[in-house]
Amino acid sequence: MDKAYAYKNKRSVVMRSSSGGAFWGIAEAFFEMGRGTCYGAKFDSDFKVVHGKAKKLEECLAFQGSKYVQSDMTNCFVEVKHDLKEGKNVLFTGTPCQVAAIKKYLSRNKIDDSGLYTVDIVCHGAPGPVVWHDYINYIQNKEHSKLIKFSFRYKPHGWKGYPIYAEFENGKKYINSIKVSSYQNMFRKNLLMRESCFNCPYPGNFQSDLTISDFWGVELCMPDVSTDGGVSLILSHTEKGANLTAVMKDTEEVTMVEVRGEGYKKYNHNLLYATERPDDYDKFWNDYKNKGLKYVLYRYGGENLKDTVVFYGKSILRKTGLADKVKKMMGRA
Ligand SMILES: Cc1cc2nc3c(=O)[nH]c(=O)nc-3n(C[C@H](O)[C@H](O)[C@H](O)COP(=O)(O)OP(=O)(O)OC[C@H]3O[C@@H](n4cnc5c(N)ncnc54)[C@H](O)[C@@H]3O)c2cc1C
């Protein structure tokens, strides 16, 4: 049976991570075990999302932070094969379908994968790159400047609200502004997913050694764990997973507590189920093809007056701590 852990890395790591810094903790454990390479998703200099390789822990910095775009892992297959053939250990991290793909590729090529360790993220669905590239061009043109930093989950402004951070070469910085949040708004409505994500076969059918996710519902399952900054859930499925988690320790700075029971499964839909296809999915894509990006940003992404008022209203409620009280009043906490 899987072992489950609530995990929170030290504060500096948590602030760079999407939830509790589980990925970093695992990468740290992996490099401590010896010679190896780690693969993960990063932005390239044009904000394309690609899978890259790290030869040491510090190079894994680029992999931290969720990028809500399907990463291009074309070059990875051959490189992973090469590393394993050279006798190195490999830590491959990515979506469940990417982990399954790399394992299938190695098996088809009859490569000994005893040095391969795999970590997948619980995945809502990864949008194809087309709308993302269109969007990057759109915000750069509007700003008349090149984008130099982008975060889908800017931690200093909270864990649960998915605030965006975008910085441009002209010095402009936008935090949680509708000007740079409309892609994210469409992602969170599940409109950008690839059709195949709605039939994803991997929830509950794990192919990896370890699975990591946001620990939604941690305050209910594990009331003693501080939620400040975010907490990750780690599921260990195999002996290799257990070897990695054995190196990760609960210390004064790092929280790692085994979760008893399976109550945590209730709070993370995509752990067990694929995302549902939204009713307006076909309409969205027809509108994108026929009317273009600007129209869908207005119609679905919140770049209109009514949604802008709601967007900033919600953000004020979150900042003042009133959001949780309102949810409780409405019986949704
Ligand atoms: C597209 C996507 C959908 C997600 N959906 C959910 C969800 O529904 N529920 C949930 O609990 N968690 C989801 N997550 C995972 C979550 O955001 C965190 O990755 C997880 O909480 C681990 O936390 P961390 O603090 O270790 O994160 P981080 O340190 O931020 O995690 C970094 C890890 O994420 C990987 N990663 C980042 N972007 C991508 C990408 N585009 N493709 C492949 N791998 C990527 C990196 O390779 C690295 O392994 C999703 C992540 C992505 C990228």
Instruction: For ligand 1, say whether the CB of 21 is within 6 Å of any of its atoms.
Output: yes
pLDDT band (50, 70, 90) for residue 1 = confident
When pLDDT is cut at 50, 70 and 90, the band that residue 5 belongs to is very high
* Beta carbon of 69 within 6 Å of any ligand 1 atom: yes
**Residue 119: what are its φ and ψ, rounded to 5°?**
-130, 125
pLDDT of residue 188: 95
Q: Is 245 in the pocket of ligand 1 (CB under 6 A)?
A: no
* Mean pLDDT confidence for 309-324: 79
Q: For residue 51, which atom of ligand 1 is closest to its CA? A: 47
- Could you give the CA distance from residue 316 to residue 312 in angstroms, rounded to a whole number? 6
pLDDT number for residue 156: 87
Ligand 1, atom 22, residue with closest C-alpha: 213
Q: What digits encode the pLDDT tens for the residues 55-87?
A: 999 999 999 999 999 999 998 999 999 999 999
Give the per-residue pLDDT at 100.
98
Residue 38, in any domain of the structure: yes
pLDDT given for residue 331 in this prediction? 62
**Mean pLDDT taken over the chain:** 94
223 in any annotated domain: yes
Say yes or no: 275 and 325 in one domain: no
Instruction: Quickly state the pLDDT bin for 88 (edges 50, 70, 90).
Output: very high
Q: Tell me: the pLDDT tens digits for 221-271? A: 999 999 999 999 999 999 999 999 999 988 999 999 999 999 999 999 999
DSSP classification of residue 199: G
Q: Is 123 a pocket residue for ligand 1 (Cβ < 6 Å)?
A: yes
| Predicted pLDDT of residue 329 | 72
Q: Mark whether 205 and 330 lie in a shared domain.
A: no
- Regarding the beta carbon of 268 and ligand 1, being less than 6 Å apart is answered yes
Band of residue 316 on the pLDDT scale cut at 50, 70, 90: confident
Residue 155 Cβ contacting ligand 1 at under 6 Å: no
Determine which residue's CA is closest to atom 47 belonging to ligand 1: 40
Q: Is the CB of 275 under 6 A from ligand 1?
A: no
If one residue of 24, 49, 61, 66 were mutated to test the ligand 1 pocket, choosing by the most ligand atoms within 8 A of its CB, it would be 66
Residues 270, 198: contact at Cβ < 8 Å?
A: no
Do 53 and 113 have their domain in common? yes
**Across 165-181, average pLDDT:** 95
CA 204 to chain centre: 18
pLDDT at 332: 56
Q: Specify whether 217 is located in the same domain as 283.
A: yes
Shared domain check, 247 and 325: no
Within-domain flag for 50: yes
- Specify the number of domains making up the chain: 2
Which atom belonging to ligand 1 lies closest to the Cα atom of 39? 47
For residues 150 and 255, state if they share a domain.
Answer: yes
Give the domain range for residue 61: 1-292
Do 325 and 251 belong to one domain?
A: no
Asked if residue 80 belongs to a domain, the reply is: yes
| pLDDT(330) > 80 | no
Asked if residue 146 is part of any domain, the answer here is yes
> Which atom number of ligand 1 is nearest to the Cα of residue 40?
47
Residues 214 and 248 in one domain: yes
Q: Are residues 97 and 233 in the same domain?
A: yes
Asked whether residue 246 falls in the same domain as residue 314, the answer is no
At 304 the pLDDT is 87
298 within domain boundaries: no
Would residue 21 count as lying in a domain?
Answer: yes
3-state SS class at 54: strand
35 shares its domain with 167: yes
- Which residue has the CA at smallest separation from atom 50 of ligand 1? 123
At residue 208, the pLDDT reads 98
For 33-43, what is each residue's pLDDT tens digit? 988 999 999 99
Residue at 297 is within a domain: no
Q: Is the pLDDT of residue 158 over 90?
A: no
**Measured in angstroms, how far is the CA atom of residue 63 from the centroid of ligand 1?**
9
Distance 122 CA to ligand 1 centre (A): 7
Ligand 1 atom at minimal distance to the Cα of residue 64: 29
Question: Taking CA 287 as the corner, what is the angle to CA 285 and CA 289, rounded to the nearest 5 degrees?
Answer: 70
Q: What is the mean pLDDT of residues 89-100?
A: 98
124 and 273 belong to one structural domain? yes
Average pLDDT of span 295-305: 94
Q: Which residue's CA lies nearest to atom 32 of ligand 1?
A: 64
* pLDDT (0 to 100) of residue 299: 96
b or e along 168-188 (b: 16 or more beta carbons within 10 Å of the residue's beta carbon)?
beeeeebbbbbebbbbbbbbe
